[in-house]
Amino acid sequence: MSLVEQFNFVSFNSRQHALYFSQLLKNEGYDSQIISTPKGVALGCGLSVKFSPHLTSKVYNIYKQHRIPIVGFYSMKRIGNHSELVRIPLI
């Protein structure tokens, strides 16, 4: 049986923006984690903020309030050795 991991993340142009956004989420009480940007996203500073898919709309609302420069919102699904990366369109 293969291990399945699914998460969403926001990729940033600046390490400072990634750290700041992570702190904004923490201040709102949302679990998040600073991660190295997955290799499928070739742009940005190399840091992303990872969060649970069920928090996507709340995380997006915080992004809209603060308009921190980002590369984009993404969804990652890993099944065993296979990874599926999808860009989440911004509304």
Per-residue pLDDT at 80: 87
Q: Residue 85 half-sphere exposure, CB side, CA atoms within 13 Å?
A: 12
Per-residue pLDDT at 1: 61
Reading the chain (91 residues) residue by residue, the pLDDT tens digits are 678 899 999 999 999 999 999 999 999 999 999 999 998 898 889 999 999 999 999 999 999 999 999 999 999 999 988 999 999 998 7
pTM for this predicted structure: 0.92
DSSP secondary structure string for all residues of the chain: ---EEEEEEEEES-HHHHHHHHHHHHHTT---EEEEPPTT--SSSSEEEEE-GGGHHHHHHHHHHH---EEEEEEEEEETTEEEEEEEPP-
Per-residue pLDDT at 35: 97
